[in-house]
Amino acid sequence: MKARPVGTRSVLVLVVLAIAAGGVRFSKAQDVQEGKASWAAVLCKNCHGENGEGGFGPDLAGRQLSEAQFRHAVRKPWGIMPAFTEQQMSDQELANVSAYLNRLPRVAQPGPWRTALQNGAPGARQLVVGTVGCGQCHGPVLAGPRQDAGAVAADFQWFADLVYDHTGKMPAHHRLLGGDPNRRFRMGNYSRTRLPESLLREIWAYVNDLGLRVPLLASLSAEASSGNGVTYTLELENEGLPGKGLTAEDLTVSLELPPGSSVVSANGTGYQGVRKDSRNNAETAVWQVSRMGPKDEQTFTITLARAGSGRGEPHGSVRWAKPPLGDGSNDSIEIAPPRR
């Protein structure tokens, strides 16, 4: 009996079934623009350069890595880089990033580090900035991690959990403080083999030498008031965990006023009036607050005449005397101008 010819459609079906049975994986159509967006959102650029030109991490632009090679490098890195899970970046997102990088031109010379290692830096800072690379995202003094630690008066075990199991522990930590546990956390999980606990303890000692920080958050907003004035509202909150988080004492809230503006009214605990700030030669509204414990909130308002984006926007800082930094100086956070 003659064999029946197999049509093209049947051949395609057989091929697809054979691929599926063999476990071969392939992505949907790659989206270069989505890849560019993911590259920026997950902060790969902090180590590998704004445009993949390299820095603390190797240059990746134009290297023509296959999807499989790129996926392996992200899921199971060869070096100190933390591993990123599928919950942080799906295989499709990785395929998009790979396509974006492959479209970029190769570089003749890798770019500079995002956070430079200063000559003569102490050994612990060399470890943070140059060996492990924490400083490329968190800065040389790890201000953000020290603030997270201050929210719960953390110990070394807390720190180790966040470094080795960031994708599991950070959402739980964020939920504990009342935040959204479903937000995308950008750091992956470090390997205990590539980053042994002995080195991590040295970093933790560096964190404690600098001092844990009170987790204060300042947010400034603006809305037009009657006449030509603008009313600015400053929300200040201690995001620490009650019973554990640090308390800030002897706080000074300073709001630099736009040139040519004048105060119509001001409210809020401890308003001291307007003073001349000699450091920046600017008129500054000042409030004094005795303490802010975990979950404490304060609201300050000020209405300015002849203010607004055309004349600049208020901005400033919140400083507190206790607890001091490791060197005994006052700690502070910046008050960013309101977003319009």
Strands (E), 194-296: 216-224, 230-238, 248-256, 262-267, 271-277, 282-292
Other C-beta atoms closer than 10 Å to the C-beta of 43 total 14
Average pLDDT over all residues of the chain:
88
CA 177 – CA 8 distance, rounded (Å): 60
Domain ranges of the chain: 32-103, 123-210, 216-335
In the DSSP assignment, the letter for residue 130 is I
Q: What pLDDT is attached to residue 156? A: 98
- The confidence band for 311, taking pLDDT boundaries of 50, 70 and 90, is low
- Which percentage of the chain shows pLDDT scores above 90? 75
CA 325 – CA 306 distance, rounded (Å): 38
Strands (E), the chain: 216-224, 230-238, 248-256, 262-267, 271-277, 282-292, 297-305, 315-322, 331-335
181 against 96, higher pLDDT: 96
Side chain identity at 123, as an amino acid letter? G
Average pLDDT over residues 184-205: 93
Cα torsion angle, 99, 186, 220, 328, sign? negative
For 145, 251, 288, 339, the CA distances from 314, given in Å and listed in that order, are 28, 19, 18, 11
Contact indicator for 136, 55 with CB cutoff of 8 Å: yes
For residue range 24-80, what is the model confidence (pLDDT) as tens digits? 344 456 799 999 999 988 889 999 999 999 999 999 999 999 999 999 999 999 999
For residue range 151-190, what is the model confidence (pLDDT) as tens digits? 999 999 999 999 999 999 998 888 888 887 767 778 999 9
CA 307 – CA 310 distance, rounded (Å): 8
In the DSSP assignment, the letter for residue 114 is S
Average pLDDT over residues 313-328: 96
Length of the chain: 340
For residue range 247-275, what is the model confidence (pLDDT) as tens digits? 999 999 999 999 888 999 999 999 999 99
Q: Where is 68: in which H helix or E strand?
A: helix 67-75
- The confidence band for 232, taking pLDDT boundaries of 50, 70 and 90, is very high
With tokens 């051949």, the residue in question is 11
Q: What pLDDT is attached to residue 122? A: 87
Indicate the pTM of the whole model.
0.84
Whether 130 has a pLDDT exceeding 50, the answer reads: yes
Classify domain 216-335 at the CATH class level.
mainly beta
Query: DSSP per residue over 274-296, as a string?
Result: EEEETTTTEEEEEEEEEEE-TT-
Q: What pLDDT is attached to residue 27? A: 47
Q: What pLDDT is attached to residue 281? A: 82
CA 329 – CA 323 distance, rounded (Å): 9
CA 320 – CA 255 distance, rounded (Å): 15
Q: What pLDDT is attached to residue 340? A: 67
Task: Specify which residues 331 forms β-bridges with.
Answer: 320
Note the Cα 91 to chain centre separation in Å. 23
Whether 8 has a pLDDT exceeding 70, the answer reads: no
- The confidence band for 16, taking pLDDT boundaries of 50, 70 and 90, is very low
The fold of 32-103 is Cytochrome Bc1 Complex; Chain D, domain 2 (1.10.760)
Whether 23 has a pLDDT exceeding 70, the answer reads: no
Contacts of 19 (CB under 8 A, 6+ apart): none
CA 147 – CA 135 distance, rounded (Å): 15
Q: What pLDDT is attached to residue 225? A: 73
Q: For the chain, what percentages of helix, strand and coil (3-state, to nearest 5) are there? A: 35, 20, 45
Average pLDDT over residues 295-320: 87
CA 147 – CA 245 distance, rounded (Å): 10
- The confidence band for 309, taking pLDDT boundaries of 50, 70 and 90, is low
Whether 22 has a pLDDT exceeding 50, the answer reads: no
Average pLDDT over residues 126-135: 96
- The confidence band for 3, taking pLDDT boundaries of 50, 70 and 90, is very low
- The confidence band for 310, taking pLDDT boundaries of 50, 70 and 90, is low
Q: What pLDDT is attached to residue 28? A: 58
Angle CA(340)–CA(254)–CA(228) in degrees, nearest 5?
A: 45
CA 15 – CA 29 distance, rounded (Å): 19
